[in-house]
Chain A
Amino acid sequence: MSTWRFQLRSRSEEPVDGSVIQHQQLQAMSPKDVERIPILVDGRTLALADVFQVTHQASHVDQIVVAGELTSVHGLGTGHDSGEFVIDGDAGDHVGSRMSGGTLHVAGSVGNHLAAPAGGHRLGMTGGRLVVDGDAGHFAGHRMRRGTVWINGNVGDHLGGAMIAGTIIVAGDFGAGSGLAMQRGTLIVAKPDERSWPQPRFSRPVRFNASFLKLLRPFVPASHRSDKLIDQLVVDCTRVRGDRCVGGQGEILMPG
């Protein structure tokens, strides 16, 4: 096993396509080959080594670390399938797009479309564990199919839109239009606000025994506020279900 480290050379406003850093691709490549991977920067094709300083070393874990001021780097963790992917800092859009396994940890905030599909793809995240220590933007979990997303901060609008399955836990605030066109899946939120989901399309809030959340408790990320949220919901939980406009049986769990 090994650790690949990608240190952004300099902060830039130009959008960088970080989706080329993929675990399964790196396994068969030498450091020199990796440095030559083509990467799009604002439409121009550069070598990966032009954008990131690449280091590779043996490790006791299978790990990718991307570090630096990454808010203009999009698509990090795309297609991640096993091992650890660590984003050391804030990142751009489409983090964890089509992620299917392993863990992805963002030690900061992310942009829009967390765990959502990019380009012409139909599905977002399909497995694994995605942890965001900070905030997430709009459309988090859009078309998510499976897996668990932990967000320690706030999220924007349309959380879990068109979600197919999976679980998203938000310890902070969440925006409007959550769960729109949601088919299945679970949104767990700390601060219920009935304006946050499309009212006529979801059931009325009912008391719910969420005993299954006890199984989630050991997996709460370290230093996340979700631990208190999970403990609270086990004894005091309300649920709404929808989106009925699409025949959905998704659920939003909240205290109260």
Chain B
Amino acid sequence: MEGAIAMSESLQINGVEIEATFAEAFDMKATRIIITADDQQWADEAAAAMTGFGTSVIACKIEIDVERRLQPNQTPDGRPGVAILAFAVSGSELEKQIPVRAGQCVLTCPTTALFAGIDGDAATLPKRIPLGKTLRYFGDGHQISKIIGGQRFWRVPVMDGEFLCAHDVGRVDGIGGGNFLLMADSMRAATSACRAAVAAIKDLPGVITPFPGGATRSGSKVGSKYKTLMASTNEAYSPALLGWPPKANSTGDSASDQSALSDDIRAVLEVVIDGMSFDLIADAMRVGIHAACDAGGGNGLLRVTAGNYGGKLGRHHFKLAEILK
């Protein structure tokens, strides 16, 4: 657990104020898979299907996105490919989600093959996520196992030849929920800064931004007045709730305005980052914030902050002042 934030001087980048706060992130289970195909288009299409509906574990149960495209000389079979990172709150959930998605989205996609993207065999990474171990049964007895270089692969006959698939892939520890919030005087300014940030993060290894376009407008708080909901809108960052009559506090007195926004803020977008390590996420936050400020400073981006829960929920605290040094 890291200590409380303390930042005596306000920090600015290109005229954009950086708030003295921190992003709070959580331990997750992670893996990487590699999809290859005869051409980049098939690989991209399989990856798009595999990563669909994978924005937040709140309802998707998995956060999954393309990490980066791979050149033929970077893939096991010398074909164009895509690396995908996936994160879940538990190993068992990851073990459930990955084979289902691989079966419906990669096995089905013409010319594709599926490989492990995490180095390490069962001796070094005993926690495994099944790939071909599960999908081979589609071969209905005609599947062929091959052990090549100490790694087991499955060859499953399909309508364009054989679907080649690694037996399984290792599972490692990851971190989910790195984030920063871009506060702007217009939606156009927020969009511009957000897209610059996500574009800068896009090519970094070991991280993904799983929300649509890399960002979410529905930043949430924990819990809700409705008991069945585990998350609900974060009033403090909603411009629509600026000036709303303050709620009564526990003593019945009128509380002060709960908004974290000033009157000049009209739009807030949150870039959420999952990564394979603390340093990779911190680096992505740094790169993303700088890119956003470079694009948005003087163009409507007014402040950058980060989402946290007071440090009570996640053990990984990304202090903006420190990662932007």
Contacts and interface: CB of A to CB of B under 8 A. Distances in A.
A217 B73 CA distance: 13
B146 A211 contact: no
A214 B77 contact: yes
B3 interface: no
Given A146-B147, A218-B149, A219-B148, A212 B142 contact: no
B180 interface: no
Contacts of B164: 211-212, 215
Interface string A131-149: 0000000000000001110
Contacts of A3: none
Interface string B143-185: 0111111000101000011101000000000000000000000
A128 to B, nearest CB: 10
A216 interface: yes
B78 interface: yes
A165 interface: yes
B52 interface: no
Interface in A167-218: 167, 184, 186, 208-209, 211-212, 214-218
Contact of A209 (B148, B153, B161): B161
B149 A212 contact: no
A7 interface: no
Contacts of A219: 148-149
Interface SS of B by simple majority: strand
Contacts of A127: 147
B76 A212 contact: no
A238 interface: no
A215 B155 CA distance: 12
Contact of B146 (A208, A212, A249): A212
Contacts of A249: 142, 144
B113 interface: yes
Interface string B62-99: 00000000000000111000000000000000000000
A218 to B, nearest CB: 7
A110 B134 CA distance: 40
Nearest to A184: B144
A184 B148 CA distance: 16
Interface SS of A by simple majority: mixed
A217 B113 CA distance: 17
Contacts of B78: 214, 217
A211 B142 contact: no
A211 B144 contact: no
Contacts of B144: 184, 186, 249, 251
A212 B163 CA distance: 9
A53 B78 CA distance: 47
Nearest to A216: B148
B148 A215 contact: yes
B162 A211 contact: yes
Nearest to B145: A165
A211 B161 contact: yes
Contacts of B146: 167, 186, 212, 215
B142 A215 contact: no
Contacts of B148: 148, 215-216, 219
Question: Most chain-A Cβ atoms within 10 A of its Cβ — which of B76, B144, B164?
Answer: B144
Contacts of A218: 149
Nearest to A166: B147
B175 to A, nearest CB: 32
Nearest to B38: A211
Interface in A3-50: none
Contact of B113 (A146, A184, A211, A251): A211
Contacts of B161: 208-209, 211
A252 B51 CA distance: 38
B303 to A, nearest CB: 51
Contact of B77 (A147, A184, A208, A211): A211
B117 to A, nearest CB: 15
Contacts of A186: 144, 146
B162 A209 contact: yes
Nearest to A218: B149
Nearest to A165: B145
B162 A215 contact: no
B152 to A, nearest CB: 10
Contacts of B162: 209, 211-212
Interface of B: 76-78, 113, 142, 144-149, 153, 155, 160-162, 164
Ranked 6 nearest A-B pairs via Cβ: A209-B161, A214-B77, A215-B148, A212-B164, A214-B78, A212-B155
12 contacts: A146-B147, A147-B147, A186-B146, A211-B77, A211-B161, A212-B164, A214-B76, A215-B148, A215-B149, A218-B149, A219-B148, A251-B144
Given A184-B144, A209-B161, A212-B164, 15 more contacts: A147-B147, A167-B146, A209-B160, A211-B164, A212-B146, A212-B153, A212-B155, A212-B162, A214-B78, A215-B76, A215-B77, A215-B164, A218-B149, A249-B144, A251-B144
